[in-house]
C-alpha cells in the first residue's frame, strides 16, 4: 500500500473584512482556519489597503502560523490615447522582509495620498518599480494586470505586459498567478499564462482569491456586493459570475485542482519560506523620519554646540535638558516635526521653519535653566 503524503499549500491571495464590502472573512477566523487546515502560514492581501496587517500579524502569532503581509494594489492602466477610458487592474504584492514591508507601506500610502486614478486608491507601475525592494509579486486574478491584457488584447500583448512586469521587480520575485474557480475563461487563460511563464523562465503559483471562509458563506458575500453596488439581491444575483469557490480551500483540494501543475502548489510553500523572515517590532512607536532641509543640521549641534544663551554653561545643563536632546536625535522623536510643515507648505516655508527651530529651542532651554536657577536661589 502506497504511503499518501498530505499536500502542503499556503493561501497567498486572501481578502478579509478590510476589503470593504467585498471580503467576508474576519481576520480572527483567518489565522485559526489556516491552523485548522494544517497550513504553516497564511497571507492577507486586502484591496488597496493594509488596515488589517497588524491585527493579522498578531492573530497568526497567537495561532502559531506565520503571517504573510501583503496587498492587492490597484494599478492604473496606461492610456492608449486621449479618448481611452480610465481603468485599473490588480496586482498582488507580498512583503518578504522588513524592507519589503516598508516598500509595501510606501506604495499603498501613495495610492491613497496621491491616487493616479479617480476610480480607487491607485498607483502607477513606475511607483511600484521605484519601491520594489523586498517585494514578491503575483500577477493577479482575472482582473489582474496580466490576465486583463490577455483577455482584452490577446497573447502577444500579454507577453509584452509580462516582460514589462519582469523588469519592474527584483530577479526571482515575480510569479505568474493561476486560479481555478470553475469559470469558463480560466482554463484557457491558465493555459496561456503557463505557456508564457515557461517561455520566459518564470515560476507559476496557485491561489484561490479567498473572499470568505467556507463555501456556504458565498451567499453572504454576495449581500455585501449588493451594498457596495447599491443593487438589489436579484440584480446582484443576475450579474454574479455564479461561482462560490473563493473560500479557504484545504490543501488537498487545491492540490487536486492543480494536479497537472504541481509546481504551482509547491511554489506557495517556497514563497511562504521567503516571507517567514519578516518580524515586526511591535510595542514601540513606528513613526516616519522626514528628511530635513540641509541648513537644519543635527538637533544636538543646533541646541547644544554653542547655540544656547551665553549665560548657560553646557557643563551645567540639567539631566532633563540632555534627555530632551536625546529625544530630538531619535529617528522617531520630535526632530522631524518642522519637516511636516515643510512637506505641507513647500520648501521655502520649510526652510524658514528649520531656521526658527534653534531659536525657539534656545528660548525654551534658557527659560528652563532660569527656572532652575531661581529654584536654587542663584
Give the pLDDT of residue 354: 46
**Assessment of whether the complete model's pTM goes beyond 0.75:** yes
Structural contact between residues 22 and 224, judged by C-beta atoms closer than 8 angstroms:
yes
Q: What is the DSSP string of 19-35?
A: STTT----HHHHHHHHH
pLDDT of residue 1: 44
Residue 242, pLDDT score: 74
pLDDT of residue 359: 55
Furthest-apart CA atoms within the chain: distance in Å:
94
Secondary structure (3-state) at 318? coil
Grid coordinates of 213: 471562509
- Residues 124, 129, 130, 134: is their CA dihedral positive or negative? positive
Query: What's the CATH superfamily of 27-275?
Result: Metal-dependent hydrolases (3.20.20.140)
- In 3D, which of 244, 315, 243, 330 has the Cα closest to residue 284? 330
Residues in a beta bridge with 278: none
pLDDT given for residue 78 in this prediction: 81
Task: Return d(Cα 258, Cα 207) in angstroms, integer.
Answer: 10
Domain boundary assignment for the chain? 27-275, 294-376
What is the tens place of the pLDDT at every residue in 317-333? 556 566 666 665 555 54
Task: Flag residues of the chain having pLDDT under 50.
Answer: 1-4, 300, 309-312, 333-351, 353-354, 357
CA distance 52 to 153: 35
Amino acid 305: pLDDT: 52
Rounded to an integer, what is the distance from CA 79 to the centroid of its chain? 25
Q: What is the DSSP letter of 331?
A: T
User: What pLDDT score does 142 carry?
Assistant: 95
- Please list, in sequence order, all residues whose beta carbon lies within 8 angstroms of the beta carbon of residue 97, skipping any fewer than 6 positions away: 134, 277, 278
Amino acid at each position: 500500500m502506497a504511503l499518501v503524503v498530505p499536500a502542503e499549500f499556503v493561501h497567498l491571495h486572501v481578502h478579509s473584512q478590510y476589503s470593504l464590502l467585498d471580503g467576508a472573512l474576519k481576520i480572527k477566523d483567518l489565522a485559526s482556519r489556516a491552523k485548522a487546515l494544517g497550513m504553516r502560514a497564511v497571507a492577507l492581501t486586502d484591496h488597496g489597503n493594509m488596515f488589517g496587517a497588524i491585527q493579522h500579524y498578531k492573530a497568526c502569532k497567537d495561532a502559531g502560523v506565520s503571517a504573510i503581509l501583503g496587498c492587492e494594489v490597484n494599478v492604473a492602466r496606461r492610456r492608449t490615447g486621449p479618448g481611452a477610458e480610465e481603468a485599473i487592474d490588480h496586482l498582488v504584492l507580498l512583503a518578504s522582509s522588513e524592507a519589503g514591508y516598508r516598500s509595501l507601506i510606501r506604495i499603498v500610502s501613495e495610492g491613497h495620498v496621491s491616487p493616479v486614478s479617480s476610480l480607487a486608491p491607485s498607483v502607477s507601475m513606475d511607483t511600484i518599480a521605484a519601491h520594489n525592494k523586498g517585494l514578491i509579486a503575483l500577477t493577479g486574478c482575472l482582473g489582474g494586470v496580466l490576465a486583463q491584457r490577455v483577455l482584452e488584447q490577446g497573447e502577444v500583448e500579454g507577453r509584452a505586459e509580462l516582460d514589462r512586469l519582469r523588469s519592474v521587480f527584483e530577479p526571482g520575485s515575480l510569479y505568474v498567478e493561476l486560479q481555478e474557480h470553475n469559470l469558463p475563461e480560466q482554463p484557457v487563460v491558465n493555459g496561456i499564462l503557463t505557456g508564457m511563464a515557461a517561455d520566459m523562465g518564470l515560476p507559476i503559483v496557485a491561489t484561490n482569491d479567498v473572499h470568505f471562509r467556507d463555501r456556504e458563506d458565498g451567499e453572504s458575500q454576495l449581500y455585501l456586493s449588493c451594498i457596495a453596488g447599491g443593487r438589489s439581491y436579484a440584480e446582484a444575483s443576475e450579474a454574479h459570475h455564479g461561482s462560490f469557490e473563493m473560500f479557504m480551500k484545504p490543501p488537498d483540494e487545491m492540490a487536486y485542482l492543480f494536479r497537472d501543475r504541481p509546481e504551482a502548489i509547491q511554489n506557495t510553500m517556497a514563497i511562504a519560506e521567503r516571507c517567514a523572515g519578516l518580524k515586526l517590532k511591535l510595542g514601540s512607536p513606528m513613526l516616519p523620519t522626514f528628511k530635513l532641509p540641509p541648513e537644519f543640521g543635527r538637533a544636538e549641534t543646533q541646541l547644544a554646540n554653542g547655540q544656547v544663551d551665553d549665560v548657560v554653561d553646557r557643563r551645567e545643563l540639567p539631566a532633563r535638558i540632555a534627555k530632551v536632546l536625546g529625544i530630538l536625535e531619535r529617528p522617531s522623536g520630535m526632530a522631524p516635526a518642522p519637516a511636516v510643515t515643510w512637506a505641507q507648505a513647500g520648501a521655502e516655508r520649510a526652510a524658514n521653519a528649520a531656521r526658527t527651530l534653534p531659536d525657539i529651542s534656545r528660548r525654551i532651554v534658557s527659560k528652563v535653566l532660569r527656572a532652575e536657577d531661581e529654584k536654587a536661589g542663584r
